Amino acid sequence: MINNNAAQIQAQVGAYVKTVHKNLNEALHETGQRGVGIVKGNSPVVSGRLRNSMAYSIEGKVIGGEAPEDTIRPSKEKQTVVVGTNVVYGPSVEYLSQTGSKGFMLRSYKYWKPIAERLIAKAFEHYGGVG
Amino acid sequence: MKTQAQLKAEVYNALQNDTSLTDNIFWIARPTVSNDLPVIVYAILPMGSDYSFGIVRDSEDIVFQVDIYTSPGDVATMDASIERIKTDMEALNYQNIGDPGEFFEKDLNAVVRPTRWERVNV
Q: Cα distance from B90 to chain A (closest Cα, Å)?
A: 20
What's this model's pTM, rounded to 2 decimal places?
0.84
**Taking an 8 Å Cβ-Cβ cutoff, which residues of chain A contact chain B?**
42, 91-92, 95-96, 98, 100, 102-103, 106-107, 110-111
C-alpha A62/C-alpha A82 separation (Å) is 9
Q: For residue range A11-44, what is the model confidence (pLDDT) as tens digits?
A: 888 888 888 889 999 999 999 999 999 999 999 9
Q: For residue range A64-82, what is the model confidence (pLDDT) as tens digits?
A: 988 888 999 999 999 999 9
3-state class (DSSP) for residue B8 = helix
When CB atoms are compared, the residue of B43, B47, B112 closest to A110 is B47
**Interface predicted TM-score of the whole assembly (ipTM), two decimals:** 0.83
Residue type, B121: N
Rama region for A65: left / alpha / beta (φ>0; ψ in -120 to 50; rest): left
How are beta strands B25-27 and B39-44 bridged, if at all? Answer: parallel
- From A76, A70, A1, A65, select the one nearest A33 (Cα to Cα): A65
| Cα→Cα distances A73→A39, A60, A76, B61, B118, Å | 17, 9, 9, 32, 28
- Substitution target in A34, A92, A95, A109 with the highest count of B β-carbons within 10 Å is A95
